[in-house]
Amino acid sequence: AQTVTQSQPEMSVQEAETVTLSCTYDTSESDYYLFWYKQPPSRQMILVIRQEAYKQQNATENRFSVNFQKAAKSFSLKISDSQLGDAAMYFCAYVNSGGGADGLTFGKGTHLIIQP
Amino acid sequence: GAVVSQHPSRVICKSGTSVKIECRSLDFQATTMFWYRQFPKKSLMLMATSNEGSKATYEQGVEKDKFLINHASLTLSTLTVTSAHPEDSSFYICSARARLTGNTEAFFGQGTRLTVV
């Protein structure tokens, strides 16, 4: 079974600064997808960024980028120019590729606090 | 992005009664829908996977007789919590995966906060 570990229960960053959230995972599969989801107080799950394991290039979405290290099974999220609206729970998630029949495996989450 | 609508957003029920939660994909067909449970300040735990027209697959430790899942169409899945008890109080979230595209992105509903009194 796959596992996802987020070792930072809470992180705090000053507005406009950069913060990195850590995620490691364990799998015996070679082809899979990794995600970062944001869950604000409304509790709606919002996809932040996605990475296909077969792609060596790190995914980037505006101020959000990942550092994907496949051999180390590490998938960290960098948020640049942090904004107050970035405050939320952030979950790292994993799913096997192919078929689409598997649910996501989530980490325990990191609570991100943005200091004005 | 695709929209998944989940209703109700909040429900309070008496112990011993049943509650049904609906999950609809509004602008796409979902071959597979997933139901998660989230305890306060905790992560999402996959409860079951439902495929249209077939029986749901439950994760280990999830009581299939308590959490009835029906996926009668490509746009609707329901979760019924039967004979609810206070320990069933939780936040339930559904997600749906698009048909045909092979899209591995799962779109989430808004969630349902269930309180059993």
Average predicted confidence (pLDDT) for chain A:
94
User: Is B15's pLDDT higher than 90?
Assistant: yes
- Which residues in chain A have Cβ-Cβ distances shorter than 8 Å to B110? 42-44
Per-residue model confidence (pLDDT) at position B105: 76
Task: Compute the Cα dihedral for B57, B62, B68, B73 and give only its sign.
Answer: negative
Per-residue pLDDT band at A74 (split at 50, 70, 90): very high
Assign B51 to helix, strand or coil. Answer: strand
Assign B13 to helix, strand or coil. Answer: strand
Per-residue pLDDT band at A9 (split at 50, 70, 90): very high
DSSP state of B54: S
Task: Compute the Cα dihedral for A109, A114, B4, B7 and give only its sign.
Answer: positive
Determine contact, residues A86/A114, Cβ cutoff 8 Å.
Answer: yes
User: Is A75's pLDDT higher than 90?
Assistant: yes
Per-residue pLDDT band at A58 (split at 50, 70, 90): very high
- Which residues in chain A have Cβ-Cβ distances shorter than 8 Å to B45? 106
Per-residue pLDDT band at B104 (split at 50, 70, 90): low
User: Is B1's pLDDT higher than 90?
Assistant: no
Determine contact, residues B43/A108, Cβ cutoff 8 Å.
Answer: yes
Tell me: the pLDDT tens digits for A83-95? 999 999 999 999 9
Looking at the complex, does the CB of residue B46 fall below 8 Å from at least one CB of chain A? Answer: yes
CA-closest candidate to residue B67, choices B23, B37, B33: B37
Per-residue model confidence (pLDDT) at position B100: 56
Tell me: the pLDDT tens digits for B67-77? 999 988 889 99
Length of chain B: 117
Beta-carbon separation of A103 and B46 below 8 A: yes
What does the buried/exposed string (b/e) look like for A58-77 if buried means 16 or more CB atoms within 10 Å of the residue's CB? ebeeeebbbebeeeebebbb
Tell me: the pLDDT tens digits for B36-76? 999 888 899 999 999 888 889 999 999 999 999 998 888 99
User: Is A71's pLDDT higher than 90?
Assistant: yes
Query: Closest partner residue to B104 among A33, A43, A44, by Cβ?
Result: A33
Average predicted confidence (pLDDT) for chain B:
91
d(CA B48, CA B69): 8
Per-residue model confidence (pLDDT) at position A1: 79
